Structure 1
């Protein structure tokens, strides 16, 4: 029996999902696509690093989320609340 959580995570993190999520920011605005790519590359390198680098990556992601909240629709915030967040 397939693992439902793993399947959902793979769907959530697929290339198609990222294109749907960022839409024209990736496909029509190369400067934004480059910024997103550099951000993700930097986070990936920090996540693969030592504990301090992983903590820095976690803080960077959390700061990004908090900065985006005022500009995000309430429905999107409610839907993302079901994604469990690990406490440090």
Structure 2
């Protein structure tokens, strides 16, 4: 009950019902395959509607920035390993 109050306080009014519906939708799936697909697409659509376009843009920017950081780190690390291996072989 305490957790529910914390979630309710953290979410704006009305969004708690949406979160509850999303949770129930993910837990209790439909039995037929196509009903399952339609149900999940509806759940995803509701989840996407919870954020505004600006919020989605911010999240996309954050994910792209983090992804760029890790890709750059990976290739710089490979370059560093290549250069140290070259230095070791030269000695």
TM-score (norm 1): 0.40
Higher RCO (Cα < 8 Å, 6 or more apart) = 2
TM-score by length of 2: 0.39
Say which one has the larger Rg: 2
